[in-house]
């Protein structure tokens, strides 16, 4: 099935730094979603994007739905220790209700 | 968004046995999905659970190994049959509660097969 390329695989940053991660696909997606997963928990939805070009914020998080509908990015500004976790992008293709997930970005924040 | 209760949260099972995982949602939902997350990996869709009809399985997953029930619009079960250590994973239930905009996940079932 469709694969999403997510990068980077991991990041180790200092508290207060900004972070950026992105996902690309070879086909068009109708919806892009960004999730965070903490150890022992299921993924929690951070931001959902529904239109090409859409830019949406949720607190210190900002995500954009690429104009080509084949990519999306997530920015985290002024990182804090509780931002630690694994971030996944996910997309929904035309005619398919289930989500396809990226490989994840593991974020570590040094206090 | 919908609230999902998934159980058990974890289990350690013997090789060759089966485990049934339950997913209960606090509202009626059209579609429920079952995902597997192998250690250190991303989420892979196992199947879509349809109310009133058979589940739709993804390539690489078969009904004999992962039978699914969906008796009503708020409940589903996934059984992992004849388990082997390779089945050790986190199994996650997800629902699409608002026509594509409300994908929510349960907290998962961490399965270890010994």
Note the pLDDT tens digit of each residue in A65-89.
Answer: 999 999 999 999 999 999 999 999 9
Q: What is the pLDDT of residue A1?
A: 54
Radius of gyration of chain A, Cα coordinates, nearest whole angstrom: 13
Nearest CA in chain A to B32: A98
Contact B42, A105 (CB under 8 A): no
Angle CA A13–A100–B72, to nearest 5: 120
Q: How many CB pairs under 8 A join A and B?
A: 57
Is there a contact between B107 and A41 if contact means CB atoms under 8 Å apart?
A: yes
A45 touches chain B (CB under 8 A): yes
Angle CA A38–B21–B83, to nearest 5: 100
Contact B27, B2 (CB under 8 A): yes
Q: Which regions in chain B score pLDDT beneath 70?
A: 97-102
Phi, then psi, of A102 in degrees rounded to 5: -75, 175
Phi, then psi, of A76 in degrees rounded to 5: -120, 125
Q: Give the highest mean pLDDT range of A40-44, A90-94, B74-78, B98-102.
A: B74-78
């Amino acid at each position: 099935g469709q694969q999403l390329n997510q990068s980077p695989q991991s990041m180790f940053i200092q508290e207060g730094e900004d972070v950026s991660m992105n996902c690309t696909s070879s086909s068009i997606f109708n919806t892009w979603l960004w999730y965070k997963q903490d150890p022992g928990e299921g993924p929690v939805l951070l931001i959902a994007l529904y239109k090409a070009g859409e830019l949406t914020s949720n607190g210190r998080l900002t995500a954009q739905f690429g104009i080509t509908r084949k990519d999306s990015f997530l920015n985290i500004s002024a990182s804090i220790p509780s931002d630690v976790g694994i971030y996944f992008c996910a997309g929904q293709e035309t005619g398919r209700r289930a989500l396809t997930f990226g490989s994840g970005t593991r974020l570590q924040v040094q206090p | 968004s919908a609230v999902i209760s998934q159980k058990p949260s974890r289990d350690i099972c013997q090789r060759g046995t089966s485990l049934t995982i339950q997913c209960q949602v606090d509202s009626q939902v059209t579609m429920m999905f079952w995902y597997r997350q192998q250690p250190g990996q991303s989420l892979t869709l196992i199947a879509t659970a349809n109310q009133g009809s058979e589940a739709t399985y993804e390539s690489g997953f078969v009904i004999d190994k992962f039978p699914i029930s969906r008796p009503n619009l708020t409940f589903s079960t996934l059984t992992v049959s004849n388990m082997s250590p390779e089945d050790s994973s986190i199994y996650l239930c997800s629902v699409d509660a608002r026509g594509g905009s409300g994908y929510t996940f349960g907290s998962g079932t961490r399965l270890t097969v010994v």
